[in-house]
Amino acid sequence: MEFRDYYQILGVSKTADADEIKKAFRKLARKYHPDVSKDADAGARMTELNEANTVLSDPEKRAAYDALSARQQAGQEFRPPPDWNAGREYSGAGMSDAEAQGFSDFFSNLFGESARRGGGGARGAHGPAQMRGEDHHAKVVIDLADAYTGATRAIKLRAARLDENGHVVNDERTLNVNIPKGLKAGQHIRLSGQGSPGFGGGPAGDLFLEISFAPDTRYRVDGRDVIETLPLAPWEAALGASIAMPTPSGTVQVTVPPGSQTGRKLRLRGRGIPGQGTNEAGDLYLEINVVLPPADTEKARKIYEDMAREIAFNPRVASTPNATGASV
């Protein structure tokens, strides 16, 4: 038996309200009704639409379907869990087998009368099934500096639920989340019990927050390694220099070796994103960029002219590249 995605069939999101579902069904029904449609499969398509609407337009059926289908995809092999319909007596959740006739086996196994009597593969003890709530996933954006020190972020979440009258409503809530130091982009923080509520007394799902870094023109991040550009004047690169360089973990005094060229990287061990657990801290790479002063004054032009005469240098002749190294 294949799982059916009723939201996909109606072309609506899982957070669609009752009006959106009604409008989507009516629009598709006008298109596929056998009396007006010339499509060969219009009858089958209309039955499929009726089935989806029967579930999603009924608050209790929809809540039961959402709890059961949290981790399913259309076309997957599906079996109702034990105790799914055993003892289910509440209003609206079930249908007689006659009412369910013509709908799919998937529907009949979940909501048909024989399923409520324990048939259709849903046998078990008395009482409604307990289903774990759906897990939620979201992204949280932090600054690179937060990965070095840790931080607290307030995030807003929206989720659909059934109110006391059985109507689907959208809730918004704010969570204050502690961001531990040492997280890298793509890692997840798991908040137990902060996903969708469970069904029939089952536990709530979890919330998984994926970490991403806010864009920063000063830094590039590769795993736990961080790359930062180190601008140098020509004489600093040629003669060497000691530079006070701001980094995500604070200002560092860096010794630039003489003869450094644009593109050379100075490696500062352990100055990348801090380690976490058994993971070691990353490294910070300072990528040299030699910046030429403008020849916008008479004196500056004279200095460049003197250099051109006095220094035998052709930049188009290949030179031996500098090795990567650093001194801090």
Instruction: Give the three-class secondary structure for 17.
Output: coil
Residue 322 or 217, more confident:
217
| Average pLDDT of every residue of the chain | 79
The band of 166, judged by pLDDT with boundaries at 50, 70 and 90, is low
Instruction: Give the three-class secondary structure for 220.
Output: strand
Which pLDDT value is given to residue 126? 40
- Sort 19 into a burial class: Cβ within 10 Å, 0-12 / 13-18 / 19+: exposed
Residue matched to tokens 């109606």: 10
When mean pLDDT is compared over 51-65, 66-80, 146-160, 229-243, the highest value belongs to 229-243
Which pLDDT value is given to residue 212? 93
Strand partners, 267: 285
Which pLDDT value is given to residue 297? 95
Pick from 24, 29, 30: which is nearest to 11 by CA? 24
Q: What is the mean pLDDT of residues 274-293?
A: 92
* pLDDT per position as a tens digit, 236-258: 999 999 999 999 989 999 999 99
CA distances in angstroms from 268 to 129, 236, 287, listed in the order given: 57, 19, 11
Provide the H-helix boundaries in the chain.
Answer: 6-10, 18-32, 42-56, 59-68, 97-100, 105-111, 113-116, 144-149, 234-239, 298-310
Regarding pTM above 0.85, the answer is no
* pLDDT per position as a tens digit, 187-241: 999 999 888 777 666 788 888 999 999 999 999 999 999 999 999 999 999 999 9
Within a 10 A sphere around the Cβ of 146, how many other Cβ atoms? 21
What the chain holds in terms of domains, given with CATH numbers, is 6-116 (1.10.287.110), 136-213 (2.60.260.20), 219-310 (2.60.260.20)
* pLDDT per position as a tens digit, 88-109: 433 334 444 444 556 787 777 7
The band of 173, judged by pLDDT with boundaries at 50, 70 and 90, is confident
Residue 318 or 140, more confident:
140
Both tokens assigned to 190 = 């798991």
Which pLDDT value is given to residue 71? 58
Pick from 267, 253, 262, 255: which is nearest to 222 by CA? 267
Q: Is the pLDDT of residue 323 over 90?
A: no
Q: What is the mean pLDDT of residues 296-323?
A: 83
Cβ 211 vs Cβ 185: under 8 Å? yes
Picking from 35-49, 238-252, 256-270, 296-310, which range would have the lowest pLDDT averaged per residue?
Answer: 35-49
DSSP string for residues in 146-187: HHHH-EEEEEEEEEEEE-TTS-EEEEEEEEEEEE-TT--TT-
